[in-house]
Amino acid sequence: MSLRIGDTAPDFTIATTKGEISLHEWAGDSWVFFFSHPADFTPVCTTEMGRTSQLADEFKKRNTKPLGLSTDTVAEHVKWIDDVNDTQHTDLQFPIVADADHKVAQTFDMIHPGESTTAAVRSVFIIDPAKKIRLMMTYPMSVGRNFDEILRVIDALQTGDKYKIATPADWTPGDQVIIPPSINDDAAKDIFPQGWTTVRPYLRLTDIPKG
């Protein structure tokens, strides 16, 4: 199955380091940062698991639950978490899916034969509270993820939903945003009473209201 942005994230029930979970029920009304790893006890994965744990407060501020996945067992995950905590100086608390039979990895198209026939590539899925997939990113096995970008994307998606805007290149919170072309000037007057700057008819920049 080929997943696309806007699809409902496939639900699954599976063992994790925090007990058995069903994705949709576990997510509740939160966003989900679902990310996969090739294997336990590998160097890049260890740093990524550690960084996710270090950013626990940042994810919490964004009402976002991290959920890891590796194609190993719960017992192996638990041993690995000790290594992650020791080497990355953290206390990892989020669940890690035990996908030893690759069912979830296959469903989410995380197995790329060009990289490995048994290990998941570094996929990222941002899933919103309606269980819709809002973003997908895939890294090769040898490249660690940029967690500043992951947080930035969550900020951009949540800001867009709240204010009906789009975000320009390299946007970070506090920067100006874009009024989508689908909103004409008459409608924009009600939605954006703070006004805007028209760079081109299709490119209108405005500020996010304070407070």
Q: What is the pLDDT of residues 16-70, one digit of tens each?
A: 999 999 999 999 999 999 998 878 898 999 999 999 999 999 999 999 999 999 8
* Residue 85 is a catalytic residue: no
pLDDT of residue 209 exceeding 90? no
Q: What are phi and psi of 36, to 5 degrees?
A: -110, 160
Among candidate residues 23, 45, 67, 81, the one labeled active-site is 45
CA angle 41, 55, 135 (to 5 degrees): 85
Per DSSP, the three-state class of 60 is: helix
Residue 2 or 186, more confident: 186
* Amino acid symbol at 181: P
pLDDT attached to residue 202? 96
Question: Hey, what domains does the chain have and what are their CATH numbers?
Answer: 13-158 (3.40.30.10), 164-206 (3.30.1020.10)
Amino acid 139: pLDDT: 87
98's torsion region: left (phi>0), alpha (psi -120 to 50) or beta?
beta
* pTM, two decimal places: 0.93
- What stretch of H or E contains 191? helix 185-191
Q: What is the pLDDT, as a whole number, of residue 163?
A: 95
Query: What local confidence, expressed as pLDDT, does residue 100 receive?
Result: 86
Mean predicted confidence (pLDDT) in 108-126: 70
